[in-house]
Structure 1
Amino acid sequence: MEHRPPYSPSVRRRRLSAELRRLRESCGMTAAQAAERAGWPQSKVTKIELGERKNVTAQDLDALCNVYEVEDRQVREALEGLARDAKQRGWWSKYKDVFSGPLPDFETEASSIRTYESQVVPGLLQLPEYIEAVFEGGQVHEPEVIERAVAARLRRQEILNRFDPPELWVVLDEAALRRVIGGADVMRKQIQHLIHLAARHNITIQVAPFGAGAHAALVGSFVILDFPAPLDPSLAYAETYAASLLMETSAELSRYNAVFGHLQGSALSAAESVKLMEAVMSQLE
């Protein structure tokens, strides 16, 4: 049986939406004109192009391809394949009670992940004991709830161990190293884990030290994801207590890219960051 690498339904939905929008624009049609020719309300075309419809049927695709005069059978089949993939449920769907947003879905196909964390070690780099302590956060949970949280996050980390892992670039505030989560022993193990991971070819860890003073990301943590396919534009992701935010416009991405660039400049080098992590470890002895 042919092995198929993991893919993200959300990424495929974005790609399908972008391709259908491109086909419409290449015909010089507005969404209203396309909807009228297909015999649909305009809202249907708009929702498909915004990726708000998870189920784009083969009949819908045939109708749009006819409107856009797509005669190439390979193009039609490629669109149908994207629509099928977009309807699938990934491994993360069974952990909806654990994940507060779609980040694990997008991480599956990302070729590059850049992240800044201000208070805790990034989820992709956390040890099980650390995950437990972060999830509890001073609260009391049933053991099975904590087990699910740990299992979900460890499953998410598998992207770093596959044959072709994404490039992961982390800028970590020194506060995340100094905050003793789970006790001194857990923190020592967690920091040692970071040092081991920093030696991997695809992982770069920089620490933004207290001594650097104010920097460009004092507002909070965020993630920038890039994808290998040209049809999959980059996106930025941030979480609040009430919602998960996806930023996809060129203006938003330019801002986040600029902020991350400033962070890299104000942080210690990768080698200096390892030395600081070793120093923090020794202080926890």
Structure 2
Amino acid sequence: MPSMGASAAQCTLQSAFGKLQSAVCVPQSGYHRSMEGVTMTKMFDNLHDSEAFRRLRDAERVARTVFYNAPYLVPGVLQVPAYAEESFLGISGLAASDERATDRVRLRNERHAAFIKRLESHDAPQVNVVIDESVLRRMRAGSDATRKQIEHLIELSRKPNVRIGVVPFELGAHPGLAGNFEVHDSVDGSLAFSEGPFGDDIEDDDERIDAYRQKVGALMSVAVTGDDARALMAKLIGG
């Protein structure tokens, strides 16, 4: 479990969030409540038509270090096919036979396969993932997709270059809930990618990217990691 006390944890998170607020316009809480469903749908909708998404795909191929903040869903590159399909169909309301559904799920599966291949290569990146506990508990209880996805996360977390942290419910509201984002660092530079209801966004300003990076670091410092994270995930599938 997290080694920091609740007050110390909140202090660390508030400090990191303050830096992020000074660099990035953060919408008010009411906006997040009203737009959360739209944002989650946007995570799957027309991503391959976005210039920002194309730049993200390029960054995924060469990044040396990757940071993910995932308050809604498992990051796309870590989604197993069954979870990707179940999540997309549940959010979009489309039938499994709909061409739009098969197209989006195929794209997500291609990203996942390419990223996993990189993790097993000689130039594998260092990956840091922060997942809110609600992401794990939002999965459909007892489904094959849920079991496969959680088992996949457990196995990935055993890799020396992958660190997965779960931010527990007991921490309460935290800055990571403001929205999902990812940061990719490579020898050629860094970029941050975020998804919103009105489009995808790429950020390449060093100060703002550093604010995102520090935010993930602060969340990771209070998250459940290692054996504790694996035990928490295994418990959800009866392990």
Q: Scaled by the length of structure 2, what TM-score is found? A: 0.70
How far 1:100 moved relative to its partner? 7.4
1:200 aligns with 2:152: no
Distance 1:96 1:209 in 2: 33
How far 1:150 moved relative to its partner? 2.6
- Counterpart amino acid of 1:217? G
Distance 1:196 1:265 in 2: 21
Q: 1:184 aligns with which of 143, 148, 151?
A: 143
Q: Secondary structure at the match of 1:282?
A: coil
- Is this contact kept in 1: 2:82–2:144, CA < 8 A? no
For 1:84-233, what aligned pairs fall within 5 Å after superposition? 96-97=48-49, 101-102=53-54, 103-136=56-89, 137-141=91-95, 142-157=97-112, 158-162=114-118, 163=121, 164-181=123-140, 184-227=143-186, 229=187, 232-233=188-189
Q: 1:270 aligns with which of 222, 226, 231?
A: 226
1:256 aligns with 2:212: yes
Distance 1:124 1:171 in 2: 14
1:13 match: none
- Is this contact kept in 1: 2:190–2:206, CA < 8 A? no
Distance 2:230 2:77 in 1: 18
Distance 1:117 1:275 in 2: 19
Unaligned runs of 5+ in 2: 1-46
Identity %: 33
The root-mean-square deviation of aligned C-alpha atoms, in Å, is 2.3
Larger radius of gyration: 1
- Counterpart amino acid of 1:148? D
Alpha-carbon deviations, 1:142-185, whole Å to 9, x = none? 44333322322222121331322222111110010000249633
- Counterpart amino acid of 1:160? I
Q: Secondary structure at the match of 1:218?
A: helix
How far 1:99 moved relative to its partner? 9.2
Alpha-carbon deviations, 1:54-112, whole Å to 9, x = none? xxxxxxxxxxxxxxxxxxxxxxxxxxxxxxxxxxxxxxxxx835997232222111111
Distance 1:245 1:121 in 2: 19
- Counterpart amino acid of 1:101? F
- Counterpart amino acid of 2:76? G
Alpha-carbon deviations, 1:175-220, whole Å to 9, x = none? 1000024963321221111111111222211111101223232211
- Counterpart amino acid of 1:113? V
- Counterpart amino acid of 1:154? N
1:246 match: 202
Q: Scaled by the length of structure 1, what TM-score is found? A: 0.60
Distance 1:150 1:100 in 2: 19
Alpha-carbon deviations, 1:122-159, whole Å to 9, x = none? 11111111111222215124443333223222221213
Alpha-carbon deviations, 1:26-74, whole Å to 9, x = none? xxxxxxxxxxxxxxxxxxxxxxxxxxxxxxxxxxxxxxxxxxxxxxxxx
Q: How many residues align?
A: 186
Distance 1:202 1:249 in 2: 26
Distance 1:266 1:134, change over 3 A: same
Higher strand share: 2
Unaligned runs of 5+ in 1: 1-94
